[in-house]
Amino acid sequence: MANLVVHFEIYGSEPERLIDFYSALFGWRITRAGDMEYWLIETGEGSIGAEAPGFGINGGISRREGPSPERGAPVNGCDIVVGIDGDVDDTFARAVELGATESVAPNDMAGVGRAAYLYDPDGNLFGILSPVLSDGTNVMETPGALGR
């Protein structure tokens, strides 16, 4: 398990708002870690754990110490990209309904899939990615696709 990313963290001025947002958008289970201002994120079945290597990772939400990122500023840190089973355009629209704002509209990326980027309600950049292009082609079933 050397050099694999095994955990991510999202920072928020109002963590409860992000808990509601990510729970509603992705169905993540988020629980408070004791008395700390830290909440554990379980992204779902198939994520890495003590008992199995998994295909995805879990994370956490922590209270931000300082101002939220300014819109349009260069990315300072890392962002996460969430692989989704559903339609990128539908998930993008749902995210906006829940309080996200557009960074990069859904678009097809040859050999990669359909992707979009948004800012969550606290200004954190995140992406969504599906292997299914807008024409219905699944790039994971195409020779020469990313990871194949």
The enclosing domain of 94 has a CATH number of 3.10.180.10
What confidence tens digit (pLDDT) does each residue in 91-123 have? 999 999 999 999 999 999 988 999 999 999 999
**pTM score of the predicted model:** 0.86
DSSP 139: G
- Is-contact 115 128, C-beta < 8 A? yes
How many domains does the chain divide into?
Answer: 2
Residue 55 and residue 78: Cα distance in Å, rounded? 20
Q: Do 138 and 82 belong to one domain?
A: yes
What is the rounded CA–CA span in Å between residue 41 and residue 33? 10
DSSP-derived 3-state class of residue 116: strand
Whether residue 4 is found in the same domain as residue 58: yes
Q: How many angstroms separate the CA atoms of 7 and 60, rounded?
A: 8
Last residue of a domain, one of 65, 96, 111: 65
Residue ranges, the chain, pLDDT below 50 = 1, 148
